[in-house]
Chains A and B, each alone.
Chain A
Amino acid sequence: MPGEDATTKDRSAVRSLLRLWPYVRPVRARMGTAAAVAVVASCLGLVIPLVLKWIVDGPVAARDPGGVWLGALAVLGLGIAEAVLFGLRRWLVARPLASVEAAMRADLYRHLQRVPVAFHDRWPSGQLLSRATGDLSLLRLFLIFPLTFLFVNGVTILVGCALLLAQDWALGLVLLLPVVPLIVVCGVFEGRYALAARRAQDQIGDLTTLVEESVLGIRVVKGFGRHRSQARAFREKAGRLRGTELVKARLLAAIWAVITAVPEVAIGAALVLGTVRVADGELSAGTLVAFLSTALALRWPVDSIGFLLAMSQEAATATERYFEVMDEPAETGETAPARPVPGTAPAPAAPGPVSAPGPAPAPGSGSGSGSGSGSGSTLPGGLRFEGVSFRYPDAPPEAAPVLAGIDLWIRPGETMALVGATGSGKTTLTALVPRLYEASGGRILLDGEDIAGMPRERLRGLVTVAFEEPTLFSASVAENVLMGGAADAGPGELDRALAVAQAGFVRELPEGTATQVGEQGLSLSGGQRQRLALARAVVGRPRFLVLDDPLSALDVHTEALVEAALREVLAGTTALVVAHRPSTVQLADRVALLSGGRIAAVGTHRELLRDSAEYAWLMSGEATATATGGVR
């Protein structure tokens, strides 16, 4: 899990929290005002007892009813002021801090849409989700309460201490003595609590992942009757979380005990010392009472420091977790980072298999066939891979690259099938075209233009993809399909695309093409989803089309119909189609065989069946007698 290695040594709660400043900046005026208001309100609270004392010592003692009225009015006025100020403080920060939280969440969302896809391969969605919700609202609460009150209570304590020292400096010193050990203890606590808090947050993430998986994989769990072992695994993880929580509780219990007891000891010492001095006549009884009431009034501010620190600590780890994601570099600008051009000279020998003369140059476009021999890389047109290599950015260095020098040219208007054994890297290759992953080496040209130099926005407008796993979004059928087209695509395009994908079933849905689908809507079968994903891919009549095994979930009958309709679409576009079966290969003009990270052969289906043992094996499942060399 990505979180595990995050507890670096030089972490500091303050440093983490300081990173919130850019988000807090816009509301700093409000927060500052609120803090000032809170300080004033707190001080008013301290004044009220003084007024009470004045009433008792003055008008009451003097039997002066008018004075009593005055005093009561003063108490009332102060009370109203205090109430209004406390309310004002909350009102001042309520909406601004909600907006801080919202801004951070929006930034996180925006960032997650811009980090490389490889990042999402590494991070379970549960961990990202828990950052976007739990951690961020924790931060909002931190800004609302602990941040202000650490300050307010700090000021109150300082004022209180000043008052104490002013009343009697010897007794004051006695009370201040435990401050130093308290600070030390708090420091130790802070460090240990932070570790435990972080561990707990990560364990909650793990638990969430387990829950998510056991729900998403419920058919497997049920199919194998494994719900007991799942429950055992859950119990173990939940038990571990409980252990961490109990560690946290033990730390909290200790710090609270210390924070309540130590000042109390000081107060007790002051009481004894004070009593002796009163008895000796060095101190008036009134001063002692006033002194001790002030000391007692400071109890809450001191006591509260324990949980304020704990909350701050959790806020700090939440901040850390948030910035772990935000620090992930987004995809750089528009152009890809510089990378080595294929070590081999501009693919002199490579075009060998590539330029195997395709007998069926693309219908409709003659530009490619005109210079079909495919020497030189200056040729315009089509989709061209030149020495493209790829390894996953997080792959261990000793692992062999997934793709090691792909040379392939798909002529304009041509449909190329991509065939290869399971796990040979076909899907990876298709993901390079819309730059979902950046090739590690070599280049990919669209009509002669290197995609690395193209703005992604434009590139992805030129190329559309139908993924192996057809994902629909929570939106209507029409929206899901039309998102593949131009912004102004209308019902005409929608109908055409649905017809190509043989998705007539949508007419029978409760609300036709307006029916909501996706996580929050009607759940469709795999075949239905695949047809909608296909419709989405073809709706915009893209120049370049990449289809990853687009018909795998269709039944034979539907597959035949889709193929017939798809043929017409493919005639007008340059397409790369990943194929597992002969029937899909039939869609293509030529076939490329991917093997060992390279294009091993290119040709028509018949040619490859004849010449390539591996291809024949992949298509028929049986080793041919002519050549067994390519068979595993």
Chain B
Amino acid sequence: MPEPTTFPRLLLAHADARPDAPALREKYLGIWQTWTWRETATEVREVAAGLASLGFKRGDNLAIIGDNRPQLYMAFASAQCLGGVAVPMYQDAVADEMTYVLDNAEIKFAIVEDQEQVDKLLEAREKAPVEHIIFDDPRGLRNYSAPGLQSLEALRALGRDYMAKHPSFIDAEIEKGKTTDVSVMLYTSGTTGKPKGVCQTHEAFITAAQGGVAFDHLVGTDNVLSYLPMAWVGDHLFSYAQWLVAGFTVNCPESGDTVMIDLREIGPTYYFAPPRIFEGMLTNVMIRMEDASKLKRWLFDKFMAVAKRSGAKILDGEAVSFGDRVKYALGNVFVFGPLKNTLGLSRIRVAYTAGAAIGPDLFRFYRSIGINLKQLYGQTETCAYVTLQPDRQIKFDSVGKAAPSVEVKLAENGEVLVRGPMVLKEYYKRPDATAESIDQEGYFHTGDAGVFDGDGHLKIIDRAKDVGRLANDAMFAPNYIENKLKFFSHIKEAVCFGHGKDAVMAFINIDLTAVGNWAERRNIVYSGYIDLAGKPEVYELIRECVEKCNAELATEGELAHSQIARFLVLHKELDPDDDELTRTRKVRRGFIQEKYGPLVDALFSGKQMQHIETQVKFEDGRTGSIAADIKIAEAKRFPAVTKAAA
């Protein structure tokens, strides 16, 4: 491991060693503009000196708000040159939300992208102490005359003057920086209560970045496209920490709407996206294939079958028959290659996904066409760096093994505990919260429940607080089972019950589009959602899904006890308007259990049929009620299979 260092020193090292290599790119006026490492270092120093001339001191916090722009990435380093802390904030937050963070972090200086952010800060300034607002894009700001407002250009000019007067100032400041200084403060979204500022040191992020860079052999010639919010820990690790550690090129898209076009033009070698982006890409491909000519469709289907059979195995270096290797190579020429090119993924060496569970079919699709898509696990408090999937040891339902220099263990209740240099220093001004989440031995309590499988891969199953116990004390992870069910295209939502009971029961919401299509192809006539949900054929269809899910659970050790005994198909869609889901579409299990009490009781008591009347809210705000008799079906359960037998 190289000696401990700080981000500004890493930047200067690149500027010395490879001054003319590209550090940053941004598409502007239709042309990719490049900043070399030398130019980047110069600009960072100028901005730092400019900030210093305005009174920015060691330990001050600098707010950074805007889309992914080279100037804003450089602002992180500028603050850090002076021993300051970068505080990136979500660019789509409204002024009110910003006020809390600005006030909490005592922000006096902010570097922002454009008029939109300036307007919000000027509004927030009435309640928060922001003194200096520096903007990059001057459009629309010509006639603003608020005190302390100036352009980045003007700040850099101030910086140049300052450096002319104090030529050794910046270098001396960088020299003073310690690796244990806080480098960045990332606010967690805070589902409960106010957001908390997670303080991370240079050491934490540099360790995490070095680990990841070595793990995936990232080098200076790699390219990434940075399009995820800069306030999010993942972007900070991939586009800032790893950028400065590995010295690769960070590319910023032209605008939020052009990401897919820019992706194709840049052809990144290293890529990160949450599952929904991969899902969106696949949906686009499928829609366009529907419209393609017969020959193309035939080719696609033919070769995708080969890919499904052996693509992932070839990627993992497993044994594949010679015939399939030849077919796969042909498929690469005719289908996979052009497809990857269209998606902008043809140069990908490593791609990661995280943040939510990824569907097995989705995951396998990308791997089968030869994209090395892997999963990782981490949170803001651990620099998004806890476990990684090693090459050739990929499982769709695990998040991999403990990453270099991370210690992971499970608590009594299954909660994942993490120790290592990447664990947060503290929550800003919240010693109570810090003490609550880091224990005596230095383990950070993630709040996630997990299990290790036979190969030492961590599997995240649920939020620790949601995990219950069945009557026989076996672990019951409702969210995990619900996710499994939701991966079936015919199932839109699922709610499982079983805490303190001797078996698991489930409510199912069918997906109207998918099941409706399925019904039409089979000439099943239905009048609407309620009618369709109650069809015996639909129950049969759902039973198959539930039983497949049970068969999988049977192979998963303790979770084998959580197989679904009985289920019913709900007569209405769960809806945030009826408070059954949160706005981010998470199931509110407790509320549903109460609202549909008679149905839950009927499931556990083994009845065949139950009548229910439910209040519903229509989109225009009126309420009404719908009544239905709901059938209850049994599902087959399987004997637990031990790992060796599987």
Q: Tell me, yes or no, whether A binds B.
A: no
Task: List residues of B whose CB falls within 8 A of some A CB.
Answer: none
